[in-house]
Amino acid sequence: MEGNSSEDDTFDHLRYTVRTDGFGTTFYYNNRGLLHHEGGPAVVMSNGYRAWLIDGDYHRVDGPARMWPDGSWQTFRYGVCTGHS
């Protein structure tokens, strides 16, 4: 079912190890224990910070790989910073 976040959450939990710490930060790990989440941020903090990582490296092709609540951002490709606000 498209757009069903409950179903999407279940799929993510099968594909990744998902942990939420005492501060409300959610982390997605691959089977090698590296921060990793395809199609979404691998780190989601309660203050609005988001980070996209693939195999432990900051990486995103369709937008910033790091975004802060104040609107600042950084773009990365395979762990290399390619721009910032």
Return the domain boundaries, the chain: 5-84
**Cβ atoms of 53 and 42 closer than 8 Å:** yes
Whether the per-residue pLDDT at 4 is higher than 60: the answer is no
Name the β-bridge partners of 2.
none
Confidence of residue 23 (pLDDT cuts 50, 70, 90): very high
**Cβ atoms of 66 and 50 closer than 8 Å:** yes
Whether the per-residue pLDDT at 2 is higher than 60: the answer is no
* DSSP at 67: E
Query: What token pair was written down for 76?
Result: 């990365």
Mean pLDDT, the chain, whole residue set: 90
Whether the per-residue pLDDT at 11 is higher than 50: the answer is yes
Confidence of residue 12 (pLDDT cuts 50, 70, 90): low
**Cβ atoms of 60 and 41 closer than 8 Å:** no
Mean pLDDT of the 25-31 span:
96
